[in-house]
Amino acid sequence: MIGMDIDDLIGPASILPALKAKSKRQVLQELAAHAATLIEVPERAIFDVLIERERLGTTGVGQGVAIPHGKLPELDQVFGLFGRTVEPVDFDSMDDRPVDLFFLLLAPENAGADHLKALARVSRLFRDKAICEKLRGAEGADALHALLLRKAAAA
């Protein structure tokens, strides 16, 4: 996986346009629950790895964006999931702003460079304030998916 693109990480089923969560813990639970249905890994295993990562330091990177991530031995490739909350939630972000855009990344335990490349790719995408504003205004999963792919292709 040399040139890792966003479309290698997410498909239309990996877009959650209206997360109902009201807290950091609830966001992670909602993301874990949806990811579990797509990658056939127990929800609890996903949630535990995300909580463990948050204990090391917040994945709220600022500008209303968080990139929760972790490694799971059951996976054989990097997996992504995009979620947007209805209302921004306190996520202990680096800039103390509430978060409404989430990109979950899960990687195999031995992913090494692929995991880091995926994180770097997603981080670059969300550093673009214009794409963040478009993602906040987009209607529905299809529009969000198209925006993520189109912007990533241009990056």
CATH number at residue 105: 3.40.930.10
Domain interval for residue 114: 11-154
Domain count, the chain: 1
Catalytically annotated residues: 69
Kindly state whether residue 95 falls inside one of the protein's structural domains.
Answer: yes
Which pLDDT band holds residue 5 (cuts at 50, 70, 90)?
confident
Does 140 map to a domain?
Answer: yes
Question: What's 61's DSSP letter?
Answer: E
Rounded alpha-carbon distances, angstroms, from residue 45 to 74, 77, 130: 10, 16, 34
Which runs of E-coded beta strand occur in the chain?
A: 15-19, 60-62, 65-66, 69-72, 79-89, 99-108
Nearest to 77 by CA among 118, 33, 124: 118
5 lies in a domain?
A: no
Residue 29 lies in a domain: yes
pLDDT tens column, 10-27: 989 999 999 999 999 999
**pLDDT exceeds 60 at position 52:** yes
Is pLDDT above 80 for 67? yes
Query: Which pLDDT does position 28 carry in this prediction?
Result: 98
Q: Is residue 65 part of a domain?
A: yes
Classified as helix, coil or strand, 11 is coil
Give domain status of residue 76, yes or no.
yes
Q: 3-state SS of the chain: helix, strand, coil percent to 5?
A: 50, 25, 30
With respect to residue 106, please indicate whether it lies within any of the assigned structural domains.
yes
Rounded to whole angstroms, the Cα distance separating 91 from 62 reads: 10
> What residue type is 146 in one-letter code?
A
In a domain, 6, yes or no: no
The pTM of this model reads: 0.94
Cα–Cα distance measured from residue 117 to residue 40, given in angstroms and rounded to the nearest whole number: 24
